[in-house]
Structure 1
Amino acid sequence: MNSKRGAVPASFFGIAVGATAFANLWRVAIRVWHLPASVGDVLTVAALAIWLAMLAAYAHKWLTRADEARAEMQHPLQSSYAALGPVSSLLVAQLILPYAHTFALALFWIATVAQLALGAYLHGRFWQGGRKPELVTPAIYLPTVAPGFVAGTTAAALGFHQLGGLFFGAGLLSWLAIESLILHRAAVHEPLPEPLRPLLGVQLAPPVVGGISYLSLTTGVPDLFALALLGYGLYQMLILLRLLPWIRQQPFTPVYWAFSFGVAALPTMAARMVERGAGSPLDWIAPVLFVASNLVIGILAVKTLGLLIRGKLIAPADVQTAVQPTAQAPQPIATDPRGTSAG
């Protein structure tokens, strides 16, 4: 191994989140549209392999480069990505539940405790103030909104509906509060620098990941609130399509996986609503979203494999920018959450 190779950044857990969410999408699609079950099995195995690889790489980072890992956890932007570790584990618990209930239950509790501890730590630090406007990005959803919604869905799948309702409420109200902050930053401060623009893909996730959680906690034909959440998700999709030429000024890097969670969750929510009896227009919108999701995730996977083959997925350690632990005097790393080259 090349000792100069950089360590895997916490943001790479976004790849595991996207892969597991995509496998869960196919599981729903197989039920609703009777697609080949073998595809779902392959995607599940691939998602589990990616998740295990990310866990192993991140644990190795703490064992061999503890100072670097601690500095990352102190950074006001990069630390948010650590929350994707518990989120991806909760999504894995959903994947393996039909095959290994006991293991899924244990993984749920471990990930839940981890996400609560990490969320309280990171969000509590946010309340202490001092964050520069340029560090207010959609990444601040990750410690509270994503874990709340995904934990709610997983709890419901395991039969803990009241507990799931608590998590859903925490995610919902955190989302509403944080989104207003992000919109204010976007409206009155300088535009996001190019390396951070793909983070806007995270904006698609809250309404539809929350919508999946809401559907998991309710029964019957989807109600007005479910439709409202899906409608806001579709509107966010239109905004991101309008911004795509501006976002794509940043060449492809793994940070583009920020789109993957929302891209997978949007058709998942629509398909589950069709499954629950929602009629037109969802019965034709859902398949279109499903096809589009497969295309987007496929492009992300191919481009990521291309970086891996060319040795550019992780930048060498000597060209990675040093992590700045405070928000008072952010260094250039604040404009590059990936820990990778632009390759």
Structure 2
Amino acid sequence: MTSERALIPVSYFGIAVGALALGNAWRVAVPLWHLPQDIAHVATWSSLAVWLVLLALYAHKWLRHGDAARAEMNHPVQSSFASLVPLASMLAAMALLPYARGVALAVFAVSIVASLVLGLWLYGRTWQGGLAPELVTPAFYLPAVGQNFVAGTAAAAFGWPQLGMWFFGAGLFSWLAIESLILGRAATHAPLPEALRPVLGIQLAPPAVGGVTYMSLNHGAPDLFAQVLLGYGLFQALLLLRLLPWIARQPFTPSYWGFTFGVAALPTLAMRLVAAGATGPVEWVAPVAFTAANAIIGFLAIRTIALLLQGRLLPAATPSR
């Protein structure tokens, strides 16, 4: 019998997504408010290091514990989190772009193909039916909404805005369809189990991430639709704040990183509006949201490191003979 080995749940890529999204927020904040460039560099490279470590651990899981990885991919809820792997990789490609365009382009090419293939496979499975209502959670956004929005932003960053518009359209209309499904389940069925409630943090991501994508494609104009997306993002943030005591009955686990993509994207959208010339309330929303994002993600990072030091971060594999 071999010794037990720690395995990484694919949902842990939410840590990389949150860290990379915060690094992107810092890259927007530095020129806007003349903040120290070194902080943006540290945020970028530390998030890339997290992404690489998680990639290595996940590759190990597939190579040495393929049965566990395949079981995860066949699970109706956990499989949606597999979308975080190409999603994080597209964010990593954008983070690498100012430093090594060739490497960034290679990462982008692989991850955008992977996101399309995986997204179609996972979302297509939903269309085949048979899913129990209690398994419908905001994790459903990841394959069809999150991946497409990030692909749209990345395509624009690499100089293919038309491709970005296509991905943005796919993400936008998928978001509208899926949100009504999730709200219908929440309103008419039993409450989510406590262990799944942190997944509700993903609810903040579509308007905020979609807004960042839209700003990447509309030449940065602070127009009506950009403001509409920010408004809905702020509403979702307040809704999650209202639900937080109910969500937080679940003790801290890395699943709370589900909040971080939206938490980091919301100030990024507000800052991009300010940088584009928007005035009024957004001028104070941007710094408040940016400060809150750093505080929230910093708190989650400290709690996650504490779990790691206590040896409770990674579950162990079932011993094999």
TM over 0.5, shorter chain:
yes
Counterpart residue type for residue 246 of structure 1: W
Q: In 1, distance between residues paired with 2:271 and 2:35?
A: 13
Query: Match of 1:301?
Result: 301
Query: Match of 2:148?
Result: 148
| Cα shift at 1:315 | 2.5
Query: Match of 1:69?
Result: 69
Query: Match of 1:253?
Result: 253
| Cα shift at 1:83 | 0.6
Query: Match of 1:164?
Result: 164
Post-superposition Cα deviations, 1:29-73, rounded to whole Å, max 9, x if no partner, equal 001111001111111111011000111000000000011111111
Q: In 2, distance between residues paired with 1:3 and 1:285?
A: 51
Post-superposition Cα deviations, 1:220-254, rounded to whole Å, max 9, x if no partner, equal 53111000000000000000000000111000000
| Cα shift at 1:295 | 0.5
Q: In 1, distance between residues paired with 2:236 and 2:261?
A: 13
2:11–2:78: 8 Å Cα contact kept in structure 1?
Answer: yes
Query: Match of 2:78?
Result: 78
2:215–2:221: 8 Å Cα contact kept in structure 1?
Answer: no
Query: Match of 1:330?
Result: none
Query: Match of 2:18?
Result: 18
Counterpart residue type for residue 133 of structure 1: P
Q: In 2, distance between residues paired with 1:192 and 1:159?
A: 42
Which shifted more, 183-192 or 217-226? 217-226
Counterpart residue type for residue 230 of structure 1: L
**Structure 1 length normalisation: TM-score?**
0.91
| Cα shift at 1:318 | 5.2
Gap regions ≥5 residues in structure 2:
none
Query: Match of 1:277?
Result: 277
Query: Match of 1:221?
Result: 221
1:211–1:269: 8 Å Cα contact kept in structure 2?
Answer: yes
Q: In 2, distance between residues paired with 1:258 and 1:58?
A: 18
Computed over aligned residues only, the root mean square deviation of the Cα atoms, in angstroms, reads 1.2
Q: Could you tell me the percent identity over the aligned residues?
A: 62
Q: In 2, distance between residues paired with 1:26 and 1:84?
A: 21
Q: Figure out how many residues of one structure are paired with residues of the other and give that number.
A: 318
Query: Match of 1:236?
Result: 236
2:202–2:258: 8 Å Cα contact kept in structure 1?
Answer: yes
2:220–2:272: 8 Å Cα contact kept in structure 1?
Answer: no
1:5–1:314: 8 Å Cα contact kept in structure 2?
Answer: no
Post-superposition Cα deviations, 1:118-147, rounded to whole Å, max 9, x if no partner, equal 011111111110000111000011111001
Q: In 2, distance between residues paired with 1:259 and 1:193?
A: 17
Q: In 1, distance between residues paired with 2:291 and 2:139?
A: 27
| Cα shift at 1:5 | 3.8
Query: Match of 2:102?
Result: 102
Post-superposition Cα deviations, 1:93-137, rounded to whole Å, max 9, x if no partner, equal 111111111111111111010000001111111111000011100
Query: Match of 2:317?
Result: 317
SS for the counterpart of 1:279 is coil
Quickly say closer, same or farther: Cα 1:84–1:220, change in 2 above 3 A: closer
Q: In 2, distance between residues paired with 1:220 and 1:6?
A: 44
Counterpart residue type for residue 169 of structure 1: G
Post-superposition Cα deviations, 1:244-300, rounded to whole Å, max 9, x if no partner, equal 001110000000000000000000000010000000111111001111111000110
* 1:259-270 matched pairs, under 5 angstroms: 259-270=259-270
Q: In 2, distance between residues paired with 1:37 and 1:47?
A: 16
1:90–1:150: 8 Å Cα contact kept in structure 2?
Answer: yes
Query: Match of 2:129?
Result: 129
Counterpart residue type for residue 236 of structure 1: Q
| Cα shift at 1:3 | 2.7
1:153–1:217: 8 Å Cα contact kept in structure 2?
Answer: yes
2:202–2:259: 8 Å Cα contact kept in structure 1?
Answer: yes
Query: Match of 2:184?
Result: 184
Structure with more of its chain in helix, by fraction: 2
